[in-house]
Amino acid sequence: MCEYCGCRAVAAVGELTREHDLVVDLVAEARSAHRAGDVARMAHVAQRIAATLGPHTRVEEDGLFPVLAGRFPEQIAALEAEHRLVESVLAETAQSVPVDPGWPLRLLQVLDVLRTHILKEQDGDFPAALAELSTDAWESVDIVRARVGSFPRHPVNGRHTIGRSALNHE
């Protein structure tokens, strides 16, 4: 993410960025599991990504995007479509490890989409939000965050990550 606009100093953007950072770490973990041929681990990581993105997406779509959509309708529509695509592939792990032999490749493809999506938000949407959102709009974003919460984070080696216990996976 850019370092020049100061948008990370806004608490709402800082939290969204923290969640992006966590997801990027999880994407790397999913790719590692794929290289190891461990589909069960890929599914577990996909569940962790989905759990992180659940509240994250609500904050964006219910708090941040409505304000930006008036000025950037095509970009916001594209981001929301990407949310649906990512959610659909991650949802395949909701009940169990997918048995479809094509699922691991679908996951890797959607994780590539997700990585690009994160860069678009951090390099475009978050700085635009800093310029576009009023104090009232930021308060609305904070209200959405309070309503949906955040996925639990646990410090590990000085970094915030989600722990397996947060998903009942010890």
Residues 6 or more apart whose Cβ sits within 8 Å of residue 134: none
Q: pLDDT grade, residue 155 (50/70/90)? A: very low
58-99 pLDDT tens trace: 999 999 999 999 999 999 999 999 999 999 999 999 999 999
**Is the residue at 120 inside a domain?**
yes
Count of other CB atoms within 10 angstroms of residue 56: 22
**Number of domain units in the chain:** 1
The residue that leads in pLDDT, 106 or 7, is 106
Taking residues 113-126, what's their average pLDDT? 93
Residue 66: inside a domain, yes or no?
A: yes
Whole domain around residue 44: which residue ranges? 10-163
- Measured between its terminal Cα atoms, the distance across the chain in Å is 33
Q: How confident is the model at residue 3 (pLDDT cuts 50, 70, 90)?
A: low
Contact call for residues 129 and 9 (beta carbons, < 8 A): no
Residue 169 domain-assigned (yes or no): no
